[in-house]
Structure 1
Amino acid sequence: MSDRTPVSPPTPTGAHGPELSKTGAPAADEHQRVERAAREAGGDSAAGRLLDSGAGRNLGLVAVMVLLGVVGAVTAGERFLSVPNLLTVLTQASIIGVITVGVTFVIIGGGIDLSVGKVMALSSVWATTVATQAYGPLVMVLCALLVGAGAGLVNGLLIAYGRIVPFIVTLAMLISAQGLAEQISGRRSQIVTDPTIAGIATTRLLGIPLLIYIFAVVVALGWVLLNRTTFGRRTFAIGGNSEAARLAGLNVRRHTAALYVLSGLCCGIAAIMIASLTTTGSSTHGTLYELDAIAAVIIGGTLLTGGRGTLIGSILGVLVFTTITNLFVLNNLATEVQNIAKGAIIVVAVLIQARARRADP
């Protein structure tokens, strides 16, 4: 007969039985109950999911546009609702809208571009020099596109292969482009003498300015590129997690450089548009355009950290800001109040983005 006494195995949750919470329930059950309550309180409703989706954010911006329309109808009446004024709003939105298309790609790809306004100014100055205009409109357009794309290429190479922070590179490009534009133009506005370029802004098709058609074409091409091509899918992948994209076999450096070239190309297109609208090429063009474009992208739902966004949302953001500017002009309100209103809209948009990030699994 053995003198060993049987020893019972230790309980898995503690020496004295299951670990209890303060309420007397098992701790594991209590933890699950708390998590379930948090999910229910966190907005897993259909309305919450809609708000967090791209379509929901776009619908929110449409609602803002409707609200602005009501405000315009009440405060400015027919002056706001007239067809000429609405076309003016779209025309004013077209130039910054084209720039915003390129900025949207860059931000979705995880970057930032502060140089777009002055790259556009440099392109407009280079395309309207006496020597360039002597070769005709085709060379002027080609010059603007090449200068814009070239500046974007420099940004892209320094960021992708030089491993310099995008903020620093594009800020340096902003300053350099401003200085080069001033040196080329002698700080004077260069008059557009070519009738073809000058006629772009005055040409109308079916009563609609040609600038709006150019804007629509750029947006359509950008939407297809972002949502229906491998280039667009790679942009989302790199913006979401560049290291995972690299391990998956994507050439992250080359694609990042291409995104900045695309942004610069959009600046070149906008340069021809603004040169036609103002009949000048000037180093003062595009002042603070980079801030307007980035703000439009933010309120359009694109995350500043990259990986998520919609081009339609960015364009709606441009229209919201342009409409606000138009309302303030029609009602003779101070510019500083307009800037406060825009700042408030940006803050609200960032708060909504923060809510969406918390709701993500």
Structure 2
Amino acid sequence: MSAALRKAPLVVPLLLVVLFLALRTDSFLSGGNIENVLVNAAIVAVPGLAMTFCLAMGEFDLSVGSTVSLAAVVCCSAIIDGVPVLLAMLLALLAGALIGLVNGMVVTKLGVTPFIATLATLVIVRGLALAYTDGHDQIVSSPALKYLVGGRPLGVPMPILLAVLATALAWWSINRTRFGRWVCAVGSNREAARVSGLPVDRIRIAIYVLVGTAGGFWGLLIASQLQKGNGQLGLGFELDAITVVVLGGTALLGGRASVLGTVLAAVLIETIRNGLNLLNTPPAYQRISVGLLLIAALALLGLRRRVTAGPATVPAAVKEAVV
């Protein structure tokens, strides 16, 4: 039991929150409400899993929220112009991948720090989305696009099914593939990984492309929910993506990833948001709760580092990656 809790420490706080809300509200444990929580958690978890790779690499991407906006705008505008829905969705994903590629190239080839590079991209991409729409909503009525969130294959809501598939793929990639070991090795000690012969720049670029594509997919999910795209979508979404990863136990400085932790953190955050709604709490406090959770997670990570700090050695992740 203790070993399981160490691997998934958010299980206990999640159960406590569920118990509290079950006692304080009459509708929290209703089937429809639980499904709503899981669907919203799944929508956050999918891009959060991509961000897990980025933080495991020792970096992060602040442009995800703007990527959501641009992807939604590209998809909805294309549908309005008569482009087939599947092609419009592909264009949105390509837009996200292109943003990720630009981030990766700026970081690796120009040597700009990820914070500055992705902060600049955040501003630029948001401006592009606003300019492209001239500040107007791109409203669509597309059953095919709506299916991305509203579909129920095998009776399971589509976002939950997608999140399960993404979780399985992310876990396998991190724990069972050479690429996953490489990512953690780069996050553990980039220079040691480079000296060991790992293609560090290509790994970093690939992860930024992954995060950008996931941001594009997030934009598709939001466009599917709202049936529209505009330049204001995705504001603050980068905070959500980073929070679920850090809260889930992935090392902020790199070298370690927790796929299950990211998913549980997404469920915890959406459970808290849902509970605040049921308790008629003003929306502003939902953002405050996410910020407080991020601070708490960072404080716990700092405490864990101080407790477990030992003499400097060659990182185990680097040793494993070159085997």
TM-score surpassing 0.5? yes
Structure 2 Cα separation of the partners of residues 339 and 138 of structure 1: 34
Alignment match, 1:191: 139
Q: Which moved more, 1:301-310 or 1:319-328?
A: 301-310
Deviation at 1:132, TM superposition (A): 6.8
| 8 Å contact from structure 1 (residues 126, 132) kept in 2 | no
| 8 Å contact from structure 2 (residues 250, 258) kept in 1 | yes
Cα distance, 1:142–1:338 mapped onto 2, change above 3 Å: closer
Alignment match, 1:74: 23
Q: Partner letter of residue 151 of structure 1?
A: I
RMSD: 1.8
Deviation at 1:299, TM superposition (A): 1.0
Cα distance, 1:340–1:183 mapped onto 2, change above 3 Å: closer
The reply on whether 1:91 has 2:45 as its aligned counterpart is: no
Q: Which moved more, 1:112-121 or 1:212-221?
A: 212-221
Structure 1 Cα separation of the partners of residues 89 and 196 of structure 2: 39
| 8 Å contact from structure 1 (residues 151, 261) kept in 2 | yes
Deviation at 1:133, TM superposition (A): 5.1
| 8 Å contact from structure 2 (residues 41, 267) kept in 1 | yes
Alignment match, 1:345: 293
Deviation at 1:58, TM superposition (A): 4.4
The reply on whether 1:316 has 2:264 as its aligned counterpart is: yes
Structure 2 Cα separation of the partners of residues 225 and 360 of structure 1: 28
| 8 Å contact from structure 1 (residues 133, 140) kept in 2 | no
1:65 to 11, 14, 28: 14
The reply on whether 1:175 has 2:138 as its aligned counterpart is: no
Classify the secondary structure of the residue corresponding to 1:200: helix
Deviation at 1:131, TM superposition (A): 6.3
Structure 2 Cα separation of the partners of residues 344 and 168 of structure 1: 24
Structure 1 Cα separation of the partners of residues 81 and 221 of structure 2: 15
1:224 to 172, 181, 190: 172
Unmatched segments (≥5 aa) in structure 1: 1-45
Deviation at 1:212, TM superposition (A): 1.7
Alignment match, 2:73: 125
Structure 1 Cα separation of the partners of residues 83 and 303 of structure 2: 54
TM-score normalised by length of structure 1: 0.81
How big is each residue's C-alpha offset from its partner over 1:301-349, in whole Å with a ceiling of 9 and x where there is no partner?
1121111121111111111111110000001013344444433333332
2:158 to 186, 198, 210: 210
Classify the secondary structure of the residue corresponding to 2:8: helix
Deviation at 1:219, TM superposition (A): 2.0
Classify the secondary structure of the residue corresponding to 2:131: helix
Cα distance, 1:160–1:63 mapped onto 2, change above 3 Å: same
Deviation at 1:286, TM superposition (A): 1.0
| 8 Å contact from structure 2 (residues 174, 257) kept in 1 | no
Q: Partner letter of residue 74 of structure 1?
A: L
From the CA coordinates, give the structure whose radius of gyration is larger.
Answer: 1
Deviation at 1:130, TM superposition (A): 4.3
Q: Partner letter of residue 325 of structure 1?
A: R
| 8 Å contact from structure 2 (residues 79, 85) kept in 1 | no
Q: Partner letter of residue 310 of structure 1?
A: S
Classify the secondary structure of the residue corresponding to 1:122: helix
More helix by share: 2
The structure with higher relative contact order (CA 8 Å, sep 6+) is 2
Unmatched segments (≥5 aa) in structure 2: 311-323
| 8 Å contact from structure 1 (residues 89, 323) kept in 2 | yes
| 8 Å contact from structure 1 (residues 87, 208) kept in 2 | no
The reply on whether 1:162 has 2:99 as its aligned counterpart is: no
Q: Partner letter of residue 193 of structure 1?
A: S
The reply on whether 1:267 has 2:208 as its aligned counterpart is: no
Deviation at 1:202, TM superposition (A): 2.2
How big is each residue's C-alpha offset from its partner over 1:65-118, in whole Å with a ceiling of 9 and x where there is no partner?
1001101111112x1001110111111122222211111111110111000011
| 8 Å contact from structure 2 (residues 79, 140) kept in 1 | no
Deviation at 1:189, TM superposition (A): 1.3
| 8 Å contact from structure 1 (residues 295, 346) kept in 2 | yes
Structure 2 Cα separation of the partners of residues 290 and 108 of structure 1: 16
Structure 2 Cα separation of the partners of residues 286 and 341 of structure 1: 18
Q: Partner letter of residue 98 of structure 1?
A: V
Q: Which moved more, 1:312-321 or 1:154-163?
A: 312-321
Structure 2 Cα separation of the partners of residues 206 and 82 of structure 1: 21
Deviation at 1:191, TM superposition (A): 1.5
Deviation at 1:205, TM superposition (A): 2.9
The reply on whether 1:153 has 2:71 as its aligned counterpart is: no
Classify the secondary structure of the residue corresponding to 1:81: coil
| 8 Å contact from structure 2 (residues 57, 186) kept in 1 | yes
The reply on whether 1:108 has 2:53 as its aligned counterpart is: no
Cα distance, 1:337–1:190 mapped onto 2, change above 3 Å: closer
Alignment match, 2:206: 258
Q: Partner letter of residue 162 of structure 1?
A: L
| 8 Å contact from structure 2 (residues 58, 255) kept in 1 | yes
Alignment match, 2:320: none
Question: In percent, how many aligned pairs have the same letter?
Answer: 37
